[in-house]
């Protein structure tokens, strides 16, 4: 199949809570690759992916599933196509373990609504362009319910579009209500995604969050235009998502687990030392970068914070 045909190929709906990576790879393999990219560690010459950042998958018996290993397409497709599941579909034992080791707890939808309502109050009088371009950030995003509420994080049930309460949902719903030109709709939706950010520690949750953002775009596109977005449109949104939902230790603003312990020899001996002393020092981790779309340039996250 030629690239031009691929670009015009329509994408089928994903209406289930669990977006199987096999389906994405079958319908749009390059987009699954995009959703796995870590933009901080990648360079123009070498692409690197987000890491697992937890040990929940070591039971599959390979170093490829170690916490510091990259999530590769072949590790989450084919026979492993259902290995990553939303929290609501994980076993109670896994949910409990992740709460204990990573303090992973998901906020009920009614709380998300209440908090996003409160944040949005100051923006309700904005004109459409200003409203759409307002920067929002979900911290410790998990599966990104504050951005998009495709499903209830407690029950796993799909939420109807009119009842979704994420801040990206709100932007897209307002665009659809006020704009009837398809090109203008797409331009504003692109701006909405560029101004919506989130970060997460766990690589599996981050991949799910990125998928949720991608298929939320599809849901609103179909509702508005009664047709599926083309491959090319999906690919453009996926690229923005891969920049704006990033992997980070939110306390240190670094890639999770990127700090290294190094043994050093202290050569400055005191009168009481008979030989050089060994000690450990922590080598700083990899500082996370995020995209500043206003200048189309990656900048350190901690620079923006400070």
According to the model, what pLDDT value does residue 278 have? 66
Same domain, residue pair 149 and 266: no
Model pLDDT for residues 219-251, shown as the tens digit of each residue: 999 999 999 999 999 999 999 999 999 999 999
Model pLDDT for residues 26-75, shown as the tens digit of each residue: 888 899 999 999 999 999 999 999 999 999 999 997 899 999 999 999 99
For residue 244, which of 281, 283, 306, 293 has the smallest C-alpha distance?
A: 293
Element of type H or E holding 106: none
Place of tokens 């199987």: 20
Is 253 part of any domain?
no
Domain range enclosing 67: 3-247
Model pLDDT for residues 190-215, shown as the tens digit of each residue: 999 999 999 999 999 999 999 999 99
Helices (H), 16-104: 21-27, 29-35, 92-102
For residue 7, which of 26, 31, 24 has the smallest C-alpha distance?
A: 31
Same domain, residue pair 184 and 77: yes
Phi, psi of 228 (to 5 degrees): -85, 145
Is 30 part of any domain?
yes
According to the model, what pLDDT value does residue 5 have? 34
Same domain, residue pair 205 and 300: no
Model pLDDT for residues 127-148, shown as the tens digit of each residue: 999 999 999 999 999 999 999 9
Query: pLDDT: is 262 or 173 the higher one?
Result: 173
Same domain, residue pair 238 and 275: no
Contact in structure between 76 and 119 (CB atoms under 8 Å)? no
Contact in structure between 182 and 3 (CB atoms under 8 Å)? no
Is 254 part of any domain?
no
Same domain, residue pair 164 and 24: yes
> Taking the alpha carbons of 49, 55, 59, 64 in that order, is the dihedral positive or negative?
positive
The number of domains in the chain is 2
Is 255 part of any domain?
no
According to the model, what pLDDT value does residue 6 have? 45
Same domain, residue pair 106 and 239: yes
Mean pLDDT of 246-269: 85
Contact in structure between 89 and 17 (CB atoms under 8 Å)? yes
Same domain, residue pair 73 and 29: yes
According to the model, what pLDDT value does residue 92 have? 77
Same domain, residue pair 78 and 150: yes
Same domain, residue pair 237 and 270: no
Query: What's 230's DSSP letter?
Result: B
Number of helical (H) and strand (E) elements in the chain, helices listed first: 11, 7
Same domain, residue pair 242 and 268: no
Phi, psi of 141 (to 5 degrees): -70, -25
pTM for the predicted model, two decimal places: 0.88
Same domain, residue pair 137 and 279: no
According to the model, what pLDDT value does residue 94 have? 77
Model pLDDT for residues 94-126, shown as the tens digit of each residue: 777 777 776 677 789 999 999 999 999 999 999
Contact in structure between 145 and 205 (CB atoms under 8 Å)? no
Is 111 part of any domain?
yes
Question: Residue 11's pLDDT band (boundaries 50, 70, 90)?
Answer: low
According to the model, what pLDDT value does residue 1 have? 35
Query: pLDDT: is 216 or 261 the higher one?
Result: 216
Query: pLDDT: is 274 or 240 the higher one?
Result: 240
Mean pLDDT of 151-177: 95
Q: Is 21 exposed, middle or buried (0-12, 13-18, 19+ CB in 10 A)?
A: buried
Q: In what order do the strands lie in the sheet with 245-247?
A: 136-138, 196-200, 245-247
Is 25 part of any domain?
yes
Residues 6+ apart with CB under 8 A from 141: 147, 198, 199, 200, 205, 206, 209, 245
Mean pLDDT of 14-31: 79
Same domain, residue pair 126 and 198: yes
According to the model, what pLDDT value does residue 271 have? 53
Mean pLDDT of 266-281: 63
The length of the chain in residues reads 306
Is 175 part of any domain?
yes
Is 288 part of any domain?
yes
3-state helix, strand, coil in the chain (%, to 5): 45, 15, 40
């Amino acid at each position: 199949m030629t690239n031009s045909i691929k670009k015009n190929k329509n994408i089928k709906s994903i209406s289930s809570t669990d977006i199987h990576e096999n389906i994405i790879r079958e319908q749009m393999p390059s987009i699954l690759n995009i959703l796995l990219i870590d933009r901080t560690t990648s360079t123009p010459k070498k692409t690197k992916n987000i890491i697992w950042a937890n040990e929940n998958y070591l039971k599959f018996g390979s170093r490829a599933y170690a916490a510091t290993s990259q999530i590769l397409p072949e590790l989450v497709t084919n026979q492993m196509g259902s290995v990553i599941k939303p929290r609501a579909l994980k076993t109670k034992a896994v949910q409990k373990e992740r709460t204990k080791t990573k303090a992973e707890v998901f906020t009920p939808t009614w709380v998300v609504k209440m908090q996003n309502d409160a944040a949005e109050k100051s923006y309700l009088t904005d004109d459409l362009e200003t409203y759409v371009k307002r920067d929002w950030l979900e911290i410790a995003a998990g599966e990104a319910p504050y951005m998009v509420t495709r499903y209830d994080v407690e029950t796993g049930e799909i939420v109807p579009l009119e009842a979704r309460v994420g801040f990206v949902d709100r932007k897209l719903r307002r665009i659809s209500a006020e704009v009837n030109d398809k090109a203008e709709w797409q331009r504003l939706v692109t701006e909405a995604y560029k101004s919506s950010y989130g970060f997460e520690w766990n690589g599996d949750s981050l991949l799910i969050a990125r998928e949720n953002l991608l298929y939320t775009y599809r849901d609103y596109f179909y509702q508005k235009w009664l047709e599926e977005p083309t491959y090319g449109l999906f690919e453009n949104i996926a690229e923005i998502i891969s920049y704006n939902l990033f992997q980070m230790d939110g306390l240190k603003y670094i890639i999770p687990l990127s700090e290294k312990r190094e043994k050093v020899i202290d050569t400055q001996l005191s009168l009481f030392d008979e030989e050089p002393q060994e000690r450990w020092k922590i080598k700083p981790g990899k500082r996370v970068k995020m995209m500043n779309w206003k200048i189309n340039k990656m900048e350190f996250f901690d620079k923006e914070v400070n």
